[in-house]
Structure 1
Amino acid sequence: MADNSSLVGNEPLYLLMNDLVTVVQLLVIIFFSINLLLIITFFQKECFYTTTRYILFAVTLLSDSLVLFLSDVLAILTRFNIPIHVCLCVIICVVVIVYITVTPVTLTAMTLERYVAVCMPLHHGELCSTRNTINCILIIHALSSVPSIFIFSTFFGSASLKFFTKYQLCSVEIFMIYLWQQHLRSAIYQLQFLIMCIILAFSYVKIMKVAKAASGEDKQSSRKGLRTVALHGFQLLLCLIQLWCPFIESALFHIDFVVFNNVRYFNYIVFYLTPRCLSPLIYGLRDEIFFHALKSYLSFGLYKGNLI
């Protein structure tokens, strides 16, 4: 009798979670489709894939799309308690951890590009050449790989071979065997984001000084650069909060799995989906050239706006 009443009492929560899963899937499909559309638009014109800020924008779109897809798969598996082989889980988690970090690091690189464009316009062409941009992308991926290298190297050194033959609910938390591993991950993330915040603050102050001293078109360009850097700062703030989510979830994982599941879905919507819908708005819609190219593509070339 007690078990039946418990099931009945939990039924509204179960239905609510199912509705939440449906909403999340719709959001993922919408954001993924928008990103795909912007990526296709990016390859329509040569000026986009030869210009630093648009190349870095494309990197954020690709990394966000990959994270959206893989993290959604993990969320569905966790929601319906579907275990997968540990080796497959390792591969998925490595990719997710790397590309979760790629987005904020790329945003920092985009902030530096705006700083060079506004404060060092004579050197912008040289410093932001296509070759330097490719090198920058390689550096971004190298820096973004640091957390996963530390996390999984400590895991491989601590876990038994038997563990790799098991099927588990896939989550990064299962690779945190000892408490010191969580502290190490926290230290790496905090150091990375402290450096990013310093770069962001430095760029904002420098651009603001130029904006105050400029006049006419230069002043307008500087103010636009300030707004872009401020929006990047908001994105980085959301990404910073996102990095604290695993520590909260890790504590709940060992206390109450139902609460862990619910909190994880809330964090996923607010701190994973939201930052990944801002990049299309900042560069896909606010950027005049890209916006006109997008309208032209959607109208099958009938729209003839301010296209380069």
Structure 2
Amino acid sequence: MCFSKGSHKCLANMSYTPQSQTNITAELQYRGILEIVLFSAPVTVPCCVFLFINGTMLFTLRSKTVFRETSRYILLYNLLFADTAQMALSQLLYLLAACRVKLTYPVCGVLSMLAVLTNDISPLTLVLMSLERYVAVCYPLRHATIITIRNTGVAIIVVWAFSSLNVLIRVLLLVDFPFEDLVGLQMKDFCSTIAMLLGPVSAQYDRAYTCFLFLSAGVAVSSSYTGVMLAARSASTDKALASKTRNTLLLHLVQLGLSLSSTIYNPLVIAISKILDRISMWRIQNILYVCIILFPRCLSSLIYGIRDQTIRPILTYYICCRLKLSTKVLT
């Protein structure tokens, strides 16, 4: 209670209390935003750099007729497009989780299925690129008749259709989930592809399909590499082409392995979270996210942009010109 002697002080304290609570709330909000920025910046900056490189590479592959009319460059464009879309979707889901934004199941389902679709395109396209190099070395006289623009387009359509079938099966498995038993469609956890495995059947199917996809892709790329190695011993084979193709197929195997490593990201994060504090967990999670999720999606651009003698000068020209333009705009 306020007595008459100290009533003016009491009234002052009463009038000051809401203001102090407002200041405390604003300070907490500021700390929350600052924490999000500090933890998200080390991830967002590399992602923007990778997206810039991939975007420049995609533009490069559409800038010249030789790229638009050569099968291996068309396949490379499809690979880069899928990797870039996957990188953008992954970063979007990451930022939503960092900002503590919880989506509804339908919205998260759409984003997750798009991420699954683009994630499947990469290993399947690597198989096509490996087979194209195998035909170039082992059947050089028939390469022009087998690897045509039309056949390449049909192969890409088959890849997207097969990946879309996988997404359709996942959606059908979600239909059996008893959504009517939920209090609402608002998710209790952050959106991710793992969060949309809502039943044991969906989880089992995801593991089985992932094993089948990468085992099949690994066998196909390894078989292509073995075939090229055997063909390189033949006297009629172009030794320089065989050696270059062998190195390319080895890189395809590395890319496939890096794509497979993304499947262990979530289990690894869950295991680490049980033994570390929240701050240390965030730091390690950011490093793993950049190394396992983002960097492999940019690896194709770095490999082909540096190794390919046709792409390298054009890619360097576009990157340098854009960097100079950005510098002029900033100054």
Q: Which residue of the other structure, out of 218, 221, 226, is the alignment partner of 1:200? A: 221
Comparing 140-149 and 117-126, the one that deviates more: 140-149
Q: State the alpha-carbon separation in 2 of the partners of residues 210 and 90 from structure 1.
A: 47
Name the residue aligned to 1:304.
none
What letter matches 2:243 in structure 1? R
Say what the alpha-carbon RMSD is for the aligned residues.
Answer: 3.0
Classify the secondary structure of the residue corresponding to 2:69: coil
Q: Among 46, 51, 66, which residue is 1:32 paired with?
A: 51
The correspondence of residues 100-111 of structure 1 with structure 2, limited to 5 A, is 100-111=119-130
Residue aligned with 2:310, SS: helix
Matches within 5 A, 1:290-305: 290-297=311-318
Residue 242 of structure 1 is matched in structure 2 by: 262
Gaps of 5+ in 1: 1-13, 301-308
Q: Distance in 2 between matches of 1:280 and 1:52?
A: 17
Query: In the alignment, does 2:176 pair up with 1:157?
Result: yes
Give the match for residue 117 of structure 1: 136
2-structure distance, mates of 1:254, 1:243: 19
More moved, 286-295 vs 234-243: 286-295
Name which structure has the greater RCO, CA cutoff 8 Å, separation 6+: 2
Structure 1 residue identity aligned to 2:53:
I
Which has more radius of gyration? Answer: 2
TM-score by length of 1: 0.83
Which residue type is aligned with residue 234 of structure 2?
A: A
Are the counterparts in 1 of residues 39 and 282 from structure 2 also a CA contact under 8 Å? no
Q: 1:286 is matched with which residue? A: 307
Aligned to 2:66: 47
* One-letter code aligned to 2:217: M
Counterpart residue number, 1:137: 156
d(CA) in 2 for partners of 1:257, 1:181: 31
CA deviation map 1:23-71 (0-9, x unaligned): 1111111110111111111111111011111011111111111111111
Determine the structure 2 residue equivalent to 1:98. Answer: 117
Question: Cα distance, 1:152 vs. partner?
Answer: 2.4
Read off the aligned partner of 1:281 and give its amino acid letter: L
Provide the rounded CA distance (Å) in 2 between the counterparts of 1:256 and 1:156.
37
SS at match of 1:172: coil
Moved more, 265-274 or 28-37: 265-274
Deviation at 1:213, TM superposition (A): 2.6
- What is the identity, as a one-letter code, of the residue corresponding to 1:104? P
Structure 2 CA distance for aligned equivalents of residues 257 and 189 of structure 1: 31
What is the CA distance between 1:196 and its match in structure 2? 0.6
Map of 1:11 onto structure 2: none
- Does the CA-based 8 Å contact 1:152-1:175 persist in structure 2? no
CA contact (8 A) 1:147 1:189 kept: no
Question: What is the Cα deviation at residue 167 of structure 1?
Answer: 2.5
**Counterpart residue type for residue 33 of structure 1:** F
Q: CA deviation at 1:263?
A: 6.2
Taking a change above 3 Å as real, the CA distance of residues 253 and 171 of structure 1, as seen in their structure-2 partners, is farther
The yes-or-no answer on 1:180 pairing with 2:201 is: yes
TM-score (norm 2): 0.78
Query: Residues 214 and 271 (structure 1 numbering): CA distance in 2 closer, same or farther, change over 3 Å?
Result: farther
Cα 1:20/1:207, change in 2 over 3 Å: farther
After superposition, the C-alpha distances for 1:84-123 in whole angstroms (9 at most, x for unaligned) are 2221111111110110111111111101111011111111
After the TM superposition, which residues 272-283 of structure 1 pair with which residues of structure 2 at under 5 Å, given as runs? Answer: 272-283=293-304
Are the structure 2 counterparts of residues 157 and 287 from structure 1 closer, same or farther at C-alpha, using a change threshold of 3 Å? same
2:137, 2:231 within 8 Å by CA — same for their partners in 1?
yes
Distance (Å, rounded) in 1 between the aligned partners of 2:243 and 2:192: 43
